[in-house]
C-alpha cells in the first residue's frame, strides 16, 4: 500500500482507541500538530521581522497567517451517536450529492460532501469495524465541486467492514488540497467517529453506502464529522435506528 503523503509504503499507527502513544504524535490538545508547526513558525518570523526592523507593522502579515493556521487545523471534540446501524459523516462540510450508483460489486448509494477552507478538515471513520481496504490513487486536482473529481482526482479510498456490511469513504484532493493524510493500515480496527486522517486546504469526501441504507441527509445540509448521521441501515436481528437516537459518549482522542 502506498502512502498518500510520501509516496512510500504506509507505516501507520495502531487503530485501537487505546493507542495513546500515537495520540501524542498527531494530536496536541484540540488541534492537529501541523497547526502548531505552521502557527509557531510564523509567530517566530513575525518576532524576527519586528526585532530586525524595529517596526511592528512588518509582523502583522505573519501574525495573521499564524492565526489562520492555528484556526484551520483545529480539532474540536465530537459526541459520537450511539446505536446499531448508524453511519456518520467522515468529515465536516456541505452535502452536494446523494445518488444511486452501480459498482462492480452491485448497486450502491453515494453521498458527496464538500469541505471548504473554513471547515474542520480532520476525517473520521463512518462506522466501527475493520479496515479491509486502503488504496491510494494518484490523479488530477480538479475543483472538488466537479462530479468528475470523484473518479479523476488524487484520492485515498478506504473500506470499513463492520456489523455485517461495508462502507467505503474517499478522501479526495481538490484545487487547493494537495496533501492527503491517512495513518492507518489495512487490517486495523477503527471505532465509529474515530479520527483517521486529514485533507489539507479544501477537499471532498465521498461515502459509498449499501443500497439498502436509509439516507438521512439531503443536498444542501451541513454535516459535522463524527457526529452527524448520514444514513442508517438495518443490521441482523435489529431494527433501523431513528435519526434522533440519543448521543453516546464523547469519542476518545485517537491518532489521525
Cβ(49)–Cβ(58) below 8 Å: yes
Contacts of 52 (CB under 8 A, 6+ apart): none
Length of the chain: 256
Its pTM stands at 0.71
Q: Which of 149, 203, 227, 228 is catalytic?
A: 203
Radius of gyration of the chain (CA): 19
Domains of the chain, residue spans: 26-72, 78-236
Give the integer Cα–Cα distance in Å for 19 and 184: 12
Q: What is the pLDDT of residue 82?
A: 92
Query: What's the CATH architecture for 78-236?
Result: Distorted Sandwich (2.70)
Summarised one tens digit per residue, pLDDT across range 176-222 is: 655 788 889 999 999 999 999 888 766 889 999 999 999 999 999 99
So what's the pLDDT on residue 58?
87
Strands 86-88 and 229-232: antiparallel
3-state secondary structure of 34: helix
Mark whether 203 is an active-site residue.
yes
Question: In 10 A of CB 179, how many CB atoms?
Answer: 14
In which residue ranges of the chain is pLDDT below 70? 1-36, 38-39, 71-72, 141-151, 174-178, 201-202, 235-256
* Cell reading at 30: 484540540
Amino acid at each position: 500500500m502506498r502512502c498518500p503523503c510520501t509516496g512510500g509504503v504506509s507505516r501507520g499507527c495502531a487503530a485501537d482507541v487505546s493507542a495513546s502513544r500515537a495520540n501524542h504524535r498527531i494530536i496536541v490538545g484540540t488541534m492537529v500538530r501541523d497547526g502548531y508547526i505552521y502557527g509557531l513558525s510564523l509567530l517566530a518570523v513575525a518576532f524576527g521581522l519586528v526585532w530586525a526592523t524595529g517596526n511592528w507593522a512588518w509582523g502583522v502579515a505573519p501574525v495573521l497567517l499564524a492565526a489562520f493556521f492555528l484556526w484551520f487545523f483545529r480539532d474540536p471534540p465530537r459526541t459520537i451517536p450511539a446505536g446499531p446501524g448508524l453511519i456518520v459523516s467522515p468529515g465536516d462540510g456541505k452535502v452536494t450529492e446523494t445518488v444511486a450508483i452501480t459498482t462492480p460489486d452491485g448497486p450502491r448509494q453515494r453521498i458527496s460532501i464538500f469541505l471548504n477552507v473554513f471547515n474542520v478538515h480532520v476525517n473520521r471513520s463512518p462506522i466501527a469495524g475493520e479496515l479491509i481496504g486502503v488504496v491510494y490513487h494518484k490523479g488530477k486536482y480538479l475543483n472538488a465541486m466537479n462530479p468528475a473529481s470523484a473518479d479523476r482526482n488524487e484520492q485515498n479510498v478506504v473500506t470499513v467492514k463492520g456489523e455485517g456490511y461495508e462502507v467505503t469513504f474517499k478522501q479526495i484532493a481538490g484545487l487547493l488540497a494537495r496533501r492527503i493524510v491517512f495513518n492507518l493500515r489495512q487490517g486495523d480496527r477503527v471505532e465509529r467517529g474515530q479520527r483517521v486522517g486529514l485533507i489539507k486546504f479544501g477537499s471532498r469526501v465521498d461515502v459509498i453506502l449499501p443500497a439498502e441504507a436509509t439516507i438521512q441527509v439531503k443536498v444542501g445540509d451541513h454535516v459535522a464529522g463524527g457526529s452527524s448521521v448520514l444514513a442508517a441501515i438495518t443490521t441482523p436481528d435489529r431494527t433501523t435506528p431513528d435519526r434522533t437516537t440519543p448521543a453516546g459518549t464523547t469519542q476518545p482522542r485517537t491518532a489521525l
